[in-house]
Amino acid sequence: MKSMLRLGLVATALIAAGAHAEELTGTLKKIKDNGVIVIGHRDSSIPFSYLNNQKPIGYSMDLADQIVANVKKELKMPNLQVRYTLVTSQTRIPLVQNGTVDFECGSTTNNLERQKQVAFSVGIFEIGTRLLTKKTSGVKDFGDLSGKNVVTTAGTTSERLLKAMNAEKKLNMNIISAKDHGESFLMLESGRAVAFMMDDALLAGEMAKAKKPDDWAIVGKPQSYEIYGCSLRKDDPQFKKVVDDALKATFASPQMATIYKRWFQSPVPPKGLNLNFPMSQELKELLANPTDKSAEQM
Amino acid sequence: MNYNWDWSVFFKSTGIGSEIYLDWFITGLGWTVALSLSSWVIALLLGTVLGVMRTLPGRFAARFATVYVELFRNVPLLVQLFVWYFLVPDWLPEKLELWFKQDLHPATSAFISVTVCLGLFTAARVCEQVRTGIQALPRGQAMAAYALGLRLPQVYRKVLLPQAFRIIIPPLTSEFLNVFKNSSVASLIGLMELLAQTKQTAEFTANLFEAFTLATVIYFVLNMALMLIMRGVEKRVRVPGLIALGGK
Amino acid sequence: MIRFNNVNKWYGREHHVLKNINLKVNAGEVVVVCGPSGSGKSTLIRTINQLEPIEQGEIWVDEVQVNNPRTNINRLREEVGFVFQHFNLYPHLSVLDNITLAPIKVKKLAPEAARERALELLVRVGLEHKRDAYPSNLSGGQQQRVAIARGLAMQPKVMLFDEPTSALDPEMIGEVLQVMQDLAKSGMTMMVVTHEMGFAREVADRVIFLDHGEILEDTQPEWFFTRPQHERSRQFLRQVLAPMHG
Ligand SMILES: Nc1ncnc2c1ncn2[C@@H]1O[C@H](COP(=O)(O)OP(=O)(O)OP(=O)(O)O)[C@@H](O)[C@H]1O
Ligand SMILES: [Mg+2]
């Protein structure tokens, strides 16, 4: 009789649990089973995701914290362990795909090619591709670049746009593709190139690092807009919903303005530089109408 | 792992003119080969001169070559490239500096810097091989040549170097292959050689594995071809009784 | 033709290898140098063409002072042939090229002329059929005969030999000694370091006995073999001649 009663209790509990939430699948199940969530971060994408005293910080990492909070709440695991794994621009996609990291937040552009490999959260940032140049260089817009040396970072959309523009408009630019943003800026600073084409937010970061930030200016009409998103495994709607819900809630709250201000309009570690980069109209619109589409799809 | 393979990616348009991604690989291969061969010529010539210097009786020449080897072999290649590309031009006279930085096509100035850098770096390694080769020869070889009245340059050209080179073909081959691998440092200063083009294709298409697989295949075929060529050279110049030193 | 005046040589500070050497070799003479291992025979013979420098004294070859810094030592070496214990043929060159290299490069002989002269010399040492072979395909005796031909191709005034047969198997010693004997008959001035006492007895005009860097005997072969002056030469002779009696 006693055992009958116990059986009944267990059965009721099971039914109750089933009724409360649909069965866990994919990433959420993995997180629950392992008791740990793994976040992919970058080492030097200032101010989005970078290392400071061995710890990943930045605008995108603050948003990642919001995602983690929501996962904890959803799984009812307030003590869920959080682990960080460094990814590079080459490893980020495969590491998400093979489950090494559960999601990645950095400065990853959402585009159609990448959508074939991974899913994206709703956009977390929007940039325009523009030019960084010396104030005295006389360069005001892309049209002024013909016949000049222009640097951009290898593998970026800017590189592709710049090369396409050069071919189409026969501008005769000499395009230098540097290894990373730091190297691109070095090319600019050492006089090998008159302008550096890149995402405006990143240009602001490089400018802040310059010996004399006031000598430099970001100019030109944006040639394209790009939306950054966190990347996660494809075909995992359960997890994607938790991620997107967390972001949307944050965007709608006053907290968002604080996060933005903290990384783009105040001194940031490690050197206490201030990017002085007010929120663009495009980003305001994006935050007001969250979407996981890429800029080219809009 | 839920990766989407797509081998047709190499034939897709890059969005720049009428280029397809395969064109990038071909351009990259071209740069890699051009860089490596020109660096190798510098390395072989300079390395031989230095290797000979290390075996000369005179103190000064040997000392100079030793310092050279220590310097160029122990400073990391990347640091050397940085020096050649960013610092050395600043030491040139102003006119030359501006010409190098702004009038020359960026790919040309990068090519010059990498070739010089890689050539001088590899020369230090070739020097050591040449020295080892010369020192591996019996002392009687040089002595017999001197006894016949041959002058020092003739002794090296006709007697010592032809033998030394034959016995160091295997280690030289591996240095030669290293030049091809090391040429990828060029991507750091914006010269789009094979590895840089591969990374770029991977970035643009998000078809990372296809891009790196193709690069692996190209490097492999290149390596095999070079190895066969060197094998052929070795066979052609082989003489009975001279035994090659082991590879690395 | 060759004169040593009070020659002294040291290896480093301590090792006095040649002590007060006085010696004369006349044109056409064949002089055998013998002595125990380490006595300085190789050193002595190498000083003649400056393969080893000397610290004191004078060495003359004809009217040329070898150890004068102003002497063109390469010129001198063209006139003095040298044959080594270990042949030292160039393994990457054919027999013919081994012989013609120095005449072409140093004497600036036309390749055709050098080749002709080399072939004549190969006939003389009995190896014309090996002209296209590489050294490693020759026996030790054949290699040493080529080395002699290589020395002769420079048409030297003097030929120096440093133990030319001691690296050879016994059955090959004869062929090399035969070539040297023919050379002696042709009137060549020769200085030969060797332990072949038969050669010394039959071919040499004089025998020099060296011990601890000193010349102890300098005399005709009969005298050397029958009435050696020093206890150490007697001891040396007992040792080198012993196997022949045994
Ligand atoms: N380059 C050198 N540096 C220092 N010592 C040397 C050198 N060459 C020879 N010696 C030493 O000088 C001495 C004489 O050497 P040398 O070769 O002239 O003797 P040798 O009479 O020819 O002996 P062997 O019969 O063994 O050939 C030996 O003790 C030898 O060890
Ligand atoms: Mg000796």
pLDDT digits (tens, 9 = 90+) for B142-193: 999 999 999 999 999 999 999 999 999 999 999 999 999 999 999 888 899 9
Mean pLDDT value of segment C57-76: 92
Say what the pLDDT of residue C135 is: 94
Minimum CA distance residue for ligand 1 atom 4? C11
Closest ligand to C-alpha of residue C209 is 1
Mean pLDDT value of segment A13-26: 61
pLDDT at A5 over 70: no
pLDDT at C221 over 60: yes
pLDDT in tens, A66-85: 999 999 999 999 999 999 99
Q: What is the mean pLDDT of chain A?
A: 90
B39 and B183 in contact (C-beta within 8 Å)? yes
- Distance between CA atoms of residues C174 and C226, nearest Å: 24
Best A96, A117, A189, A296 member to test B by mutation, with max B CBs in 10 Å, is A117
Its ipTM equals 0.91
A119 and A233 in contact (C-beta within 8 Å)? yes
**If contacts are CB pairs under 8 Å, which of residues 62-121 in chain C contact chain B?**
74-75, 77-78, 80-82, 84, 86, 88-92, 101-102, 105-106
Say what the pLDDT of residue A90 is: 83
Q: To 5 degrees, how large is the angle CA C181–CA C186–CA C192?
A: 45
pLDDT at A179 over 80: yes
pLDDT at A21 over 60: no
B-chain residues within 8 Å CB-CB of A154?
187, 190, 192, 196, 199-200, 203
- In this structure, of A57-66, A237-246, B233-242, the range with the lowest mean pLDDT score is B233-242
pLDDT in tens, A197-212: 999 998 998 888 888 8
Structure token pair of residue C165: 């047969």
C-chain residues within 8 Å CB-CB of B154?
105-106
Mean pLDDT value of segment C44-61: 94
- Distance between CA atoms of residues C120 and C106, nearest Å: 19
Best A108, A192, A231, A234 member to test B by mutation, with max B CBs in 10 Å, is A192
- Looking at domain B7-245, its CATH architecture is Orthogonal Bundle (1.10)
DSSP assignment, residue A109? B
Using the Cα atoms of residue A131, residue A137, residue A139 and residue A144 in order, give the sign of their dihedral: negative
* pLDDT class of C246 with cuts at 50, 70, 90: very low
- Distance between CA atoms of residues A88 and A105, nearest Å: 11
Long-range Cβ pairs for the range B78-86 (8 Å, 24+): B78/B185, B78/B188, B80/B117, B80/B120, B80/B121, B81/B113, B81/B114, B81/B117, B81/B185, B81/B188, B81/B189, B83/B117, B84/B113, B84/B114, B84/B116, B84/B117, B85/B110, B85/B113, B85/B114, B85/B117, B85/B189, B86/A186, B86/A190
Q: Does any ligand 1 atom lie closer than 6 A to the CB of residue C53?
A: no
B-chain residues within 8 Å CB-CB of C151?
148
Q: B200 and A178: CB-CB below 8 Å?
A: no
Minimum CA distance residue for ligand 1 atom 24? C37
CA distance B178 to chain A (A): 21
Q: Ligand 1 atom closest to Cα of C44?
A: 18
Q: What is the mean pLDDT of chain C?
A: 93
- Distance between CA atoms of residues B212 and A90, nearest Å: 11
Among A95, A91, A96, A102, residue whose Cα is nearest residue A38: A102
- Distance between CA atoms of residues B23 and B29, nearest Å: 10
Q: Does any ligand 1 atom lie closer than 6 A to the CB of residue C38?
A: yes
Structure token pair of residue C226: 């029958």
| For A192, nearest residue in chain B (alpha carbons) | B101
Say what the pLDDT of residue B243 is: 67
Pick B148's closest partner by Cβ from C92, C102, C135.
Answer: C102
Q: Does any ligand 1 atom lie closer than 6 A to the CB of residue C144?
A: no
Q: To 5 degrees, how large is the angle CA A66–CA A109–CA B211?
A: 125
Q: Which alpha helices (DSSP H) does chain A contain, by range?
A: 2-20, 26-34, 59-75, 92-97, 112-115, 157-169, 181-189, 200-209, 237-252, 255-264, 281-288
Q: Does any ligand 1 atom lie closer than 6 A to the CB of residue C13?
A: no
DSSP assignment, residue C191? E
> Is B144 an interface residue toward C (CB < 8 Å)?
yes
A-chain residues within 8 Å CB-CB of B106?
149, 174-176, 192-193
Buried-state track B30-53, b at ≥16 Cβ within 10 A, e below 16: ebbeebbebbbebbbebbbebbbb
pLDDT at A13 over 80: no
Mean pLDDT value of segment C219-240: 91
Mean pLDDT value of segment A264-281: 90
- Distance between CA atoms of residues C181 and A272, nearest Å: 95
Closest ligand to C-alpha of residue C17 is 1
Closest ligand to C-alpha of residue C39 is 1
Mean pLDDT value of segment C139-148: 96
Say what the pLDDT of residue A80 is: 95
Report which residue type is found at A151: V
Going from the Cα of C215 to the center of ligand 1, the distance in angstroms, rounded, reads 16
- Distance between CA atoms of residues A2 and A9, nearest Å: 11
pLDDT at A4 over 80: no
Q: Ligand 1 atom closest to Cα of C37?
A: 25
> Is B148 an interface residue toward C (CB < 8 Å)?
yes
Is the full-model pTM beyond 0.90? Answer: no
Among A54, A57, A37, residue whose Cα is nearest residue A46: A57
pLDDT in tens, A132-175: 999 999 999 999 999 999 999 988 889 888 998 998 888 899 99
Mean pLDDT value of segment A212-223: 92
Q: B144 and C101: CB-CB below 8 Å?
A: no
Q: B144 and C74: CB-CB below 8 Å?
A: no
Say what the pLDDT of residue A3 is: 54
Q: C136 and B240: CB-CB below 8 Å?
A: yes
Domain segments of chain B: what residues?
A: 7-245
pLDDT at A60 over 80: yes
* pLDDT class of A46 with cuts at 50, 70, 90: confident
Minimum CA distance residue for ligand 1 atom 26? C37
Q: Does any ligand 1 atom lie closer than 6 A to the CB of residue C37?
A: yes
Say what the pLDDT of residue A15 is: 47
Pick B187's closest partner by Cβ from A94, A167, A179.
Answer: A179
Question: Best substitution site from C43, C51, C82, C84 to test ligand 1's pocket, by max atoms within 8 Å of Cβ?
Answer: C43
Residues (pLDDT < 70) of chain B are: 1, 243-248
| For B163, nearest residue in chain C (alpha carbons) | C92
Q: Does any ligand 1 atom lie closer than 6 A to the CB of residue C135?
A: no
Best C49, C88, C108 member to test B by mutation, with max B CBs in 10 Å, is C88
Say what the pLDDT of residue A19 is: 42
pLDDT at A222 over 70: yes
